[in-house]
Amino acid sequence: MQSNNFLKWYNDNFSRGEVVASHLDIEISNTAAEIGVDWSAVSSRVSWRKGKEGKVNATGSQLLKGFKNSVGIYASLETCRKTGVEYPLITFKNKGGAGDTVVFSGLSFLWDLYKEQIGKPLSPAEITQRENEKRAKAENAERKQQAALLIQQQENKRRAANVSKELVEHNQLPRAVSFVYTDKKKIAPILNHVDARQGQDKHGHFISLQLHDTLNRPRGLQRIYDKNITKPDGKQTNKEFTWGMNKDGAHLVIGDIANADRVFVVEGFATGATVFLAMLANNKTDKVAVIVALDSRNMIKVVDQYKKEQPHLVLHYALDNDQHKCKQGKGNAGVLVGINLLAKHKDDRAFLPNFELVDNVFQATDWNDLHEYRGLKEVAKQLNGNKSRFKLAGDLFERALNKLQYVNNTELMKEALVAANVGMQVGLPKYRPSDVVKLIRTHTAHAKDRINVKQLNEKVTKIFKAKVHAAQEFRSFSKRITSAKFRPEHITYKRFNTSVITSEMLNYVKSKAGDIVIVRAPMGSGKTQNLIKPVMWENERSAFFAHRVSLIGGAWDALSKNMPGGYAPITHYQDPNVKDMLPGSNKLACCINSAIKGTFAPLLNNLHALCIDEAAQTLRHTTAGSAVAYPVAVFNKILQMVSTTRDHIVLADADANDTLVEFCELALKRRNAYLKELYGEDHPDCKIHVVDAVTDCSNTKIYYTNADTAFVRAEKDVANGFKVLIANDSAKDGEKLYTHLQNNYPDKKGLFIDADSKPEKNIQAFTDDPNGESIKYDYVIYSPAISSGVSIENGHFNRHYGIFCGTVAPSDAIQMIRRDRKATEFILGLSTLNSSREESAMNMWLGMVLANEHSQLDVNINKETSKIELTTEDLEFDRFRLELIAQENKAKNDFANNLLCILFADGYKLHQLEATELEQEIGKSKKEASRELLKEIDMQRHLENTTPSDTERAQLNERNNLSKDEKAQLNRWAIENQLMMDVDQESVEFFNKGALRKVKLFELLQMNADDAKRIDNAELSAEVHPSTRLYLAKQRQALRDFFEIAGFDSKTGKGSATPENLVKAMNHLIEGDNIHVFNSFYKFGGHVDTFSRRMNPLSKAKAIMQALGLTLNKTQLASVKEGSASRLRYSIEQADWALMADIQHKRLAKKVSGYSLEHLEGITIQAMPDNYIDNTDTVDAPQTPKIKASSWIGAFKQAAENLKIPLEFAPKVMVKLREEGHMNQATPPEGVQSVISRIYNGLVGQFRPQRT
C-alpha cells in the first residue's frame, strides 16, 4: 500500500525521471562536486541514454578548480521494480589517479521528499500551483534533454568525422623507415614488420600507427612524437591518440595471429616491438605475433574481446613490472593486470621481466628497458624460460593476499575488504574468521596505517554470521515460523528451553490432538523413547515410519521394550507373519518405502496416530533420493496418512525445517477438506504446531583437518592400540582405509560396513546389536549405509573420526559421526568434490517448463510473486523434489564450510588440527596404493567369477543385498549381454568407467526421432511426473545439433571441428534459458554456472564426447585455412567410434535397448492402487537406480511386437496384468499372447465411440 501511495505522489509531482533530475539539480551538483565536476557545465550535454552511447566526459573547464583528471559521466533513467517510479542514476568515474567513483541515485532523495510532504493537506490553490510547477519542470526537462541529445549527436558526428579524416591522412603518409623514437628504444628493425607512417604537425615529427578492433576494423591512430608534447590538461607525453576514437579494445598487432605459434600481449608499442624482435631473433621463425594493447586498463579489455571471439587462443602476457612505483606505494599496475587476466583465463601464461641484472639507477619497468640494458638475448631467454614466469599460486584467498602487495596505497583498504570477502568465501576448514583478518594484516604491514582493522573485523564477522545462517537455513525454521510478526494463523510455534524431550513437551504434543505436530529436537534428545513411544502405545491404531530399512529394527526394539500389559504389540513390517499379526495388533513399525504395500492399507487408511521419525530426511529421501522404488506413490501415501489420521500426527526430526512445514501445509489443506467432507463445513480448521527444543553441543570438541591427514592419524591410532570408529561418506575411500589397515595391521580386528558388505553375517550382527558386537573390534569403518539407526552407548571406542568429501549433505554427515552416543571428541578429515550442482529450484522449474514445451503444460508467470505457476497437473511432488534437490545441492557444493558452520551453530567447540604437508602427502600416497590394490582385487574378482544364466541373474536381481562376488557376476552378465563384449581386463575397465551410461547415450544419438518421441509420449501417457521424465526427443536433438554445428557426422563420427564451431556448438546448448534444461535434464556435459556462463568450450565438448564413449583428438594444420582463424582442428577418435558403433549394432541385432519397456515397468506403478504393490524385495531395495522387471516383461515385449501394440498402451496393459494377478505368477509356457491380446482389445474398446 505504501508503494502505491508513493507512486501516486510521484505521478502527481513528477511523472518522469527528467523532471526529477531537474528538481534535484542542486543535489546532483553537490554529488558531482565530490569528484571535481562542475555539473552546470556538463548537464546540458546529458542525454540520459544508457551505456556508452550516453557517456559524457568532463574535462578542462568542466572540472572544478584543483581537479585535473577527466571524469566519465554515465547518466541514465532507471525504473524502480518495487514502486514503478522513474529516477535518475548518475555514475561519475575518475579516469586518473585512484580511479574514484561516486554515484547519485535520485530514488533515495525522492523517498526523503515523499516522507517530508506526506500527510500535509493541500489547498486547491496549492494543488494548481503544484500542477503548474510540475508541467513547467517537465517542459524544461524535455527541452534540456533534447538540447543535450542534439549536442551529443553533433559531438559524435564531429568525433566520427575527425577519425575518418585522420585515417585518410594516415594512409597518405609515407612509410617510416627510421625514427628517433625507435632508434632510442633500440627497436628500429620493427619498422620492417609494421605499417608505420611518418609525418609532421604542429607538435613536431611523429610516426603514426593505425589501431583496430578484434575484427580488424580501423578505430583510429596512435602518434608517437620525437619529443614530449603538452596535452590540454597540462600533462607531458610523447604519445597522442586520434580525438574522437573509441579507445576501448583498440590495439595494434605485430605479426600474424592466425599463423603464430605464440601470441603475446603487451601494453606499449616499444615493449611489443622488443618482444617480437627477441622471439624472432631467438627462434629464427616468423611464427610469433604481438598484440599491443596501449595501456594496462585497455589490455584487459582487448584480451577479454579476443577470448570471447577466439576462446581457443592461448595468450602470453608480457607484463610491465612497475616495481619502483610499488616501493613508493603507488602500486604495480602491470602485475595487477596479470593477476586479473590469469584469474579469468587459466590456460594463458604471463611473464614478468626480472631486473636483477639491471642497475637500480635505471628504474627499469618493462621488457624494452630490459632490452635496452641487457639486450634482446636476455629478453628471449626470460620469455622462453621459467625464471620470469608469473603464476597465480594457492587458493583464491592466497591470491587475493598476494595482490595486496601490488595495490596502490590509496586503494589498499578497499582491496583489503575484497580480500576479506574472498577469504571468508574460501572460509572453513582452511581459514577461520580470525585467520582471515590476521593474514590480511600481515600482508599489508608495508602500509598498516591505511588499514582499518575494526572495519575488517566487522566485515568478517558479518560474513561469517551470514554463512552460518545460510548453512543452518535448511535444517532450522525461518522467521516465518519463529516470529509472531510473520507467522500465519494456521501455524503455532513453541520453544522449550531444553535439549531433551520432557514430560511437559510430551503433554503439550498430546494436547494437540487432531492437529499436525512437528517436533525439532537434537540427536540423543529421546524423541523415540520419550515422545513417539508413548504416542504409539496409547493409540489403538498407530504406525511408526522412518526412511531407512536399517532404522526400523532398532526403533521397533526400542518401541516394544518394557511394554506394560494392556497394550497391543507393535508389528515389525518385515516379520514373516506380518499379514497374520497386523489385524490383531493394529500397530506397525515400517520403512516409508513400504507404506504403499497393499498388506498395510487397511491399517494405514484408518490410523489414530502417525509418527514419522527423521521426517525431514524422510521427505528428502522420498522425493530427491534414489533409494525409493516408487517415489510418487510413497509421497502421495504420506500426504494421505497425514491428511486422514484421526488423532495424533507427530513428525520429528533434529533437522526439521520450513520445507517440512510447507509439506504439512499441503497436507493440512487436504486434511481440512477431508474433515469438512466428513463432518460438515462448520468443522473447525486444524493447525500445525511447531515445537522447538534447544540444540547445545558445547561439551563436544571437533578437530578438523584435511582428509589425507585424517587417514594417517586414524592409522596411527589403530597402530597405537586405540579403539577407532570411523565414519566415511565415500564407500570407496572407506574401503581404501580398511584395506590399508588390514594389510599393515593383520593382528588388529576390523570391520568395514557399506551397502555391498551388508549381507555378510558379521555386519548384520553388528547392525542388529552394535553395543554387543562393537567390543569385538579394534576399528570399525562405515559408509552412509548406517548414517542413522545404529546407536552405540557402551563406551568401547575412544577415538572417533569422520572422513568426508561431500557425497552426503552436511546434516547427514553429522548423523554419521554421532552414532556413538558417548563420544565427546571427533577428528574430521574434510575434502570437497570437484563438481558443481544446480542450486536454484527456480532454474530447475524453468528447465522443466522448457523441456515440456510439447506437453502443453499450462504455464503462468505470476508477476507479483515472480513465481512460475503450472496449473495443468498436480505437480506438488515435482515442487518438493526440485526444492529439496536444490537445497541438498547447495549444501554439498560448499560441503566442508557448511558442515563446520552448522557444527559451530550447534555449539560444538571447533579447533583446527595442526597438520603438516608431509602428513598430507603420506596420506595421499597410501590412499593411492590402496586404490591400486583394490582395483587389482576387483579385476580378479570379475575375471574369476562366472557369468550367471538369465534365470540366475533374475534371482540375483530379486534379492535385497548382494555380495561383491554376486555383483561381479551381474556385471559380467551386463558386459556380455548389454555391452556385447567378452569379459576380459579391457572390457571390465570399460564397464567400470560407466560403459552402460555411455552406450545408452550413444544409442540415443543414433535413435530415430520417432522412436524418441514415442517413448516421451509413453511417459506422458503413464503420467510420469515432469521432473522425472527423460525428455529423449529433446536430448537427442540437442546431441544431434551439437554434432552438426561442430562439424561432425552423427551417423559416422567423421568430420572435423574448428575451434569457432566447437564454441558455437556449446553456446547453442546453453544459449538463453536453454542453460536450465542443459543443467537439470540433459545427461551429458555437466553443469555450467547460470549467472557467469563461464566455461571452457573445449573442455565441455570433450566432456560430451566422453559421455558418449568417445575421445576428441586435436591436430594443427601447417597454415590457416578458410573458415577459421585458427590452425587447430578437432576430430573424433575413429577407434572409439568403431567400438561404440559395433556395440550399438550388436545391441540392435539382439533387440537390446537402454530405453525399453523395462523403463516403463516402474513408472506405471506410480498410479496403481496400493493393494497391487506387494513385493517387499522391490519396495525396500536400499538402492534402486533401475526398476527390475518381472519375468513377464520378456514375454510381454514379444507379445507387444507380435500384436503391434502402440507404446503408449503398454503401461495400461501392464497395470491390467498386475490387477489380474498375472505379474505375481510364473510366466505360462503358452497363452501369454492371448491374455495380453484380450486386455489390449478391452482397453482399445474403451476409447472407441459408442455405436448408435
pLDDT digits (tens, 9 = 90+) for 1210-1233: 656 766 665 566 655 555 544 566
User: Which range has the worst mean pLDDT, 41-55, 430-444, 1185-1199?
Assistant: 1185-1199
Q: Which residues contact residue 276 at a Cβ distance below 8 angstroms, ignoring those fewer than 6 apart?
A: 190, 193, 254, 255, 264, 288, 289, 290
**Ranges of each domain in the chain:** 2-152, 173-392, 410-474, 476-613+641-692, 701-832+894-937, 938-1149, 1157-1246
**Is residue 206 a contact partner of residue 225, using CB atoms and an 8 Å limit?**
yes
Dihedral sign from CA coordinates of 257, 261, 267, 271? negative
Is residue 870 scored above 90 in pLDDT? Answer: no
- Phi-psi map region of 36: left, alpha, beta (phi>0 left; psi -120 to 50 alpha): left
Please report the pLDDT score of residue 655 as a whole number. 92
Dihedral sign from CA coordinates of 336, 338, 339, 344? positive
Is residue 842 scored above 90 in pLDDT? Answer: no
- 214-263 residue pLDDT tens: 999 999 999 999 999 988 777 889 999 999 999 999 999 999 998 899 99
In this prediction, residue 1180 has a pLDDT band, given cuts at 50, 70 and 90, of very low
Portion of the chain with pLDDT greater than 70, in percent? 88
Q: How far is the CA of 864 from the CAs of 82, 161, 699, 883, 1106, in angstroms? A: 10, 49, 48, 20, 44
Alpha carbon 887 to chain centroid distance? 11
Please report the pLDDT score of residue 911 as a whole number. 94
Q: How far is the CA of 681 from the CAs of 51, 402, 672, 934, in angstroms? A: 60, 70, 9, 66
Q: Which residues contact residue 1147 at a Cβ distance below 8 angstroms, ignoring those fewer than 6 apart?
A: 978, 980, 999, 1003, 1153
User: Which range has the worst mean pLDDT, 697-706, 763-772, 899-908?
Assistant: 763-772
- 578-632 residue pLDDT tens: 888 888 788 999 999 999 988 898 899 999 999 999 999 999 999 988 778 888 8
- 182-202 residue pLDDT tens: 999 999 999 999 999 999 999
Please report the pLDDT score of residue 143 as a whole number. 76
Is residue 1186 scored above 60 in pLDDT? Answer: no
Is residue 775 scored above 70 in pLDDT? Answer: yes
CATH of domain 173-392: 3.40.1360.10
Is residue 1075 scored above 70 in pLDDT? Answer: yes
Is residue 1188 scored above 50 in pLDDT? Answer: no
Count the neighbouring beta carbons within 10 Å of the beta carbon of residue 912: 16
Of residues 553, 565, 498, 568, the one with CA closest to residue 527: 498
User: What are the E-state strand segments in 305-411?
Assistant: 315-318, 349-351, 389-390
On the CB side of 157, how many CA atoms lie within 13 Å of its CA?
A: 6
Of residues 426, 433, 422, 431, the one with CA closest to residue 460: 433
What is the 3-state composition of the chain as percent helix, strand, coil, each rounded to the nearest 5? 50, 15, 35
- 473-500 residue pLDDT tens: 888 999 999 999 999 999 999 999 999 9
- Using CB atoms within 10 A of its CB, is residue 730 exposed (0-12), middle (13-18) or buried (19+)? buried
- 323-354 residue pLDDT tens: 888 888 899 999 999 999 999 998 999 999 99
Query: What cell was used for 429?
Result: 576448514
User: Which range has the worst mean pLDDT, 284-288, 344-348, 589-593, 912-916?
Assistant: 284-288
Q: How far apart are the C-alpha atoms of 1075 and 1089, rounded to whole Å?
A: 9
Averaged confidence pLDDT in the chain: 87
| pTM for the whole structure | 0.78
Query: What cell was used for 881?
Result: 523434489
Is residue 445 scored above 60 in pLDDT? Answer: yes
Please report the pLDDT score of residue 306 as a whole number. 94
- Is domain 476-613+641-692 classified as CATH 3.40.50.720? no
Q: How far apart are the C-alpha atoms of 714 and 708, rounded to whole Å?
A: 10
For domain 701-832+894-937, the CATH superfamily is: P-loop containing nucleotide triphosphate hydrolases (3.40.50.300)
Query: What cell was used for 150?
Result: 542534439
Rounded to the nearest 5 degrees, what angle is found at the Cα of 868, between the Cα atoms of 867 and 870? 135
Query: What cell was used for 1164?
Result: 506405471
Of residues 972, 1028, 1035, 1052, the one with CA closest to residue 1001: 1035
Q: How far apart are the C-alpha atoms of 588 and 581, rounded to whole Å?
A: 10
pLDDT (average), residues 720-735? 94
Phi, then psi, of 1210 in degrees rounded to 5 = -55, -50
Of residues 395, 271, 269, the one with CA closest to residue 322: 271
Please report the pLDDT score of residue 933 as a whole number. 92
173-392 and 476-613+641-692 share one fold: no
- 668-712 residue pLDDT tens: 999 999 999 888 999 999 999 999 999 989 999 999 999 999 999
In this prediction, residue 437 has a pLDDT band, given cuts at 50, 70 and 90, of very high
Is residue 266 scored above 50 in pLDDT? Answer: yes
Greater model confidence, 1196 or 90: 90
In this prediction, residue 1162 has a pLDDT band, given cuts at 50, 70 and 90, of very low
Amino acid at 1103: A
Q: 3-state class of 233 per DSSP?
A: coil
Q: How far apart are the C-alpha atoms of 574 and 590, rounded to whole Å?
A: 8
Of residues 853, 981, 326, 891, the one with CA closest to residue 659: 891
In this prediction, residue 1247 has a pLDDT band, given cuts at 50, 70 and 90, of very low
